[in-house]
Structure 1
């Protein structure tokens, strides 16, 4: 797939459902938080991957936890025995606070603005809290562009469970799932939304490959600006 090719030629969506963590938020500063407390920067990637893994597992077992709670408790386990420069609880608090200090990716402001200007409704659906999404978008001056901010906390199941996407559709008053498009950087999110009937767009900023055991996205774009252009915006790249 290329950044300018539709797969199955999906129609322009009435609503775009955005993932938040890594799709809108730039998490490249999180490794610094680990270094701040005396841990090593690679631990950040291991921790976030483990957070998703354990969150998915708890959800599948019928005992979905809150994103921040799972993240904090996993951090305590992973930092146990590490030579930190502050008490363990303080280290965990410092790292988790990083989620409230994130910026959006460089393409997000122009892309979101362009999508809003061509009349596409936008919401967020996150495995994290509404508060984190609100802080992120408010800091970027983009909060007013979004019709609503949603969290799977209201459903009790993490994405990629079908109920999470169905909840978003119901909140948007969208009867036909193909009138909504999930936009995410995570192939597992694309797959879950596709299985729930939504159109999908994979945001592939780094030019990586897409795992072929997941449902393929309807559209691939290298940035939100490119996505807006595909739907008729004249925003410059």
Structure 2
């Protein structure tokens, strides 16, 4: 059952032009984003409440994290995702006049690695698995040898045949090379894949790379109705809603 805020969000989504839903084949592979799509960033609110005295600063930091990871790629440079997260944490501290300590930064990295899954994930992923889709993940978070991945810590790794990180390409999403790397490694055409994310910038990246797109409009996310830009082929306020749309179209 949808939460009230989710129903309101869906009702406010604008009607999309059908010609902006670029045609898609029936994908057999679903490529899932991890951060915020599957894992709940809101779990870090207590850390930001403690450090900044305001949990809303988490969203400010997250926006910087996404923006500067993309900026680094567009500039032809590369830095580790954890390093970008820590640097943005300290930068936001400077903006707010807060002295961020090394202990705070250590706590941030631990929190980023151990975020819980959204409550709707298991149901949605099980629906898609039962429907016969092959599922993998593609995340900005690097793999650390000898340590569990954030997905493993959240207990969702069993649904996926493989976990990919952008560090293989040394470029952050939505760079086209990241999506093409996954398709090539799986030995499938981009058209055989659907990029699933809670972020429009990620579905645009996947669509521009030749994939279908699936958008979860979790609280704080919505479609971007700009004429001429590729829109998601499937949309849902929750992962089970999106799963039912995907299954209805492609199974």
Q: TM-score range by the shorter chain?
A: 0.7 to 0.9
Q: 1:109 to 1:140 in 2, by over 3 A?
A: farther
Q: Is the 8 A contact 1:134 1:143 kept in 2?
A: no
Runs of 4+ that moved beyond 4 A: 5-11, 131-134
Whether the aligned pair in 2 keeps the contact of 1:109 and 1:140 (CA below 8 Å) is no
Q: Identify which of 206, 213, 224 aligns with 2:219.
A: 206
Q: Report whether the alignment pairs 1:222 with 2:237.
A: yes
State the TM-score, normalizing by the size of structure 2: 0.81
Alignment partner of 1:57 out of 71, 90, 108:
71
CA shift, 1:154, in A, is 0.7
Query: How far is 1:107 from its partner?
Result: 1.0
1:116-195 equivalent positions in 2, closer than 5 A: 116-131=129-144, 135-174=149-188, 176-195=189-208
Q: Does structure 2 conserve the Cα–Cα contact (< 8 Å) formed by 1:55 and 1:67?
A: yes
When residues 8 and 38 of structure 1 are mapped into structure 2, their CA distance, relative to the original with a 3 A threshold, is closer
Q: What's the offset of the Cα at 1:43? A: 1.6
How many residues align? The count is 229
Name the CA distance, whole Å, in 2 between partners of 1:77 and 1:205: 27
Partner of 2:5: none
> Cα 1:218–1:99, aligned 2, differ >3 Å: closer, same or farther?
same
Aligned to 1:93: 106
Instruction: Work out whether residues 193 and 200 of structure 1, in 8 Å CA contact, stay in contact via their aligned partners in 2.
Output: yes
* Alignment equivalent of 1:34, drawn from 32, 45, 48: 48
Stretch deviating more after TM superposition (30-39 or 141-150)? 30-39
Change (3 A) 1:83 1:164: closer
Q: Which SS does the other structure have where 2:138 is aligned?
A: strand
Unaligned regions of 5+ residues in structure 1, if any?
none
* CA offset digits 1:61-93 (Å, max 9, x no partner): 100211111111121222247455xx6111111
Q: Does 1:103 align with 2:120?
A: no
CA distance in 2, matches of 1:200, 1:38: 36
Q: Structure 1 residues 218 and 231 mapped into 2: Cα distance closer, same or farther (>3 Å)?
A: closer
Give unmatched runs, 5+ long, in structure 2.
1-9
